[in-house]
Amino acid sequence: MVSEPTSILIVGVGGQGILLASRLLASAAIRAGRDVKLSEVHGMAQRGGSVVTHVRLGARVYSPIIEMGAADFIVAFEKLEALRWLPYARPGATVIVNDLAIPPLPVILGAEKYPDGIARSLAAGGRRVAVVDAETMARAAGNARCANTALIGVLARRLGPDIAREHWQDAVKEVVPRGTAEVNWRAFSAGYAGAG
C-alpha cells in the first residue's frame, strides 16, 4: 500500500502545466472520496523558474506540504528538477521523470553544467525510477502539449485502483481547457497504458 496519507511532489519548470496536472490529480482523488490538500507557489517562480506543487491524499490530511524525505512519488516534468527535489523522496519512493532536459540559464551561459546520468542518481537508495517520454506520448495522442496529462496517467497507474477510471475521466473533463478533454484523455490513457 501507499502511505497514508499519500504524498506526491510534482515538479518542473514554470510554464509546463504543472498546476493543471496537480489539479487533475486532486480532482480525481476527491471524486474517489479522499481528503486532499495541494500547495502551489505563484508569482516570481513562475517566470521560467523551478516550480513545485505538493499534493497529499488521504482519509484526513493536515499539512499541505510534504515533509522532506516523505514523498511517495515525485513526478518530474523535467530531469534536472527531479534531481533538485529528490531530497523530498522517501526511501523506496517512485520517481516518474519526463525524459526532457531544459537547461537553466546558468547552464546556457556556461557557468554551470547540466549533470549527466540523472536517472542513475535518481535510482540510488532503492528508489524506483520510471523514465517517460511524455512529449512523444502526447504527440501520438494528438497534442504534444498534453505531456502533463500523460505524466499524470503514468502516476495514476501506480496510485492503484482506489481512484477509479471514471474518477480520472471526470477529473480530466473538469480541469482541462474547453474542447481538449478528448485529446487529454487519450494522452492520460497513453501514460496509464505505458506505465508497465
Partner 1 sequence: MQQEARCGGYAAEAQVAAVRAAQGAEDGKAAGKAAEKAGGKDIRALMSGNQAIARGAYEAGAGIACAYPGTPSTEILEHMRAFEGIYVEWSPNEKVALEVALGAAIAGVRALAAMKHVGLNVAADPLFTVAYTGVNAGLVVVSADDPGMHSSQNEQDNRHYARFAKIPVLEPADSQEAKDLVGVAFDISERFDTPVMLRTTTRISHSSGIVLLGAPQGPRRLPYKKNPAKYVMVPGNARLRHIEVEARAKALAEFSEGFAGNVVEWNSTRVGIIASGVSYQYAREVLGDNASYLKLAMTNPVPERFIRQFAGETGRLYVIEELDPYLEEQIRAIGIGVIGKKLLPLTGELTPEIIRRVMVEEGVLPAAGAFTPGGWDGSGSGQPGQPGRPGRPDGPGGPGEDGHVGLVPNEDAEAEGPSVMVPARPPVMCAGCPHRGAFYVLRKLKTVATGDIGCYTLGVGSPLSALDTTICMGASIGNAIGFAAAGAAAGAPRDADGRKPVAVIGDSTFVHSGITGLIDAVYNQASIVVLILDNGTTAMTGHQNHPATGVTLRGQPTRRLSLEELARACGVEHVAIVDPYDLAATERALRQAMDVPGPAVVIARRACVLLPGARPADRYAILQDRCTACRLCLGLGCPAIEVRDRRPVIVAGSCAGCGVCAEVCRFDAIEKAGEDGE
Site for partner 1 in 21-50 (CB under 8 A): 23, 26-27, 30-50
Binding partner 1 by CB under 8 A: which of 158, 168, 176, 185? 158
Binding partner 1 by CB under 8 A: which of 157, 169, 180, 183? 157
Q: Is 64 a residue that touches partner 1 (CB under 8 A)?
A: yes
Q: Is 20 a residue that touches partner 1 (CB under 8 A)?
A: no
Say how far apart CA 143 and CA 150 lie, in whole Å: 11
Say how far apart CA 151 and CA 187 lie, in whole Å: 9
Say how far apart CA 188 and CA 146 lie, in whole Å: 8
Q: Find residue 98's DSSP bridge partners.
A: 132
Burial label, 21 (beta-carbon count in 10 A; 0-12, 13-18, 19+): buried
We find the least distance from the C-beta atom of residue 189 to partner 1, in angstroms, to be 12
Q: Find residue 166's DSSP bridge partners.
A: none
What letter does residue 128 receive in the DSSP assignment?
A: E
Q: Is 166 a residue that touches partner 1 (CB under 8 A)?
A: no
Q: Is 69 a residue that touches partner 1 (CB under 8 A)?
A: yes
CA 44 to centroid of chain Cα atoms: 21
Binding partner 1 by CB under 8 A: which of 13, 18, 21, 146? 13
Total residues at the site for partner 1 (CB under 8 A)? 105
SS3 call for 186: helix
Q: Which is nearer to partner 1, 43 or 179 (CB)?
A: 43
Q: Is 179 a residue that touches partner 1 (CB under 8 A)?
A: no
Q: Is 122 a residue that touches partner 1 (CB under 8 A)?
A: yes
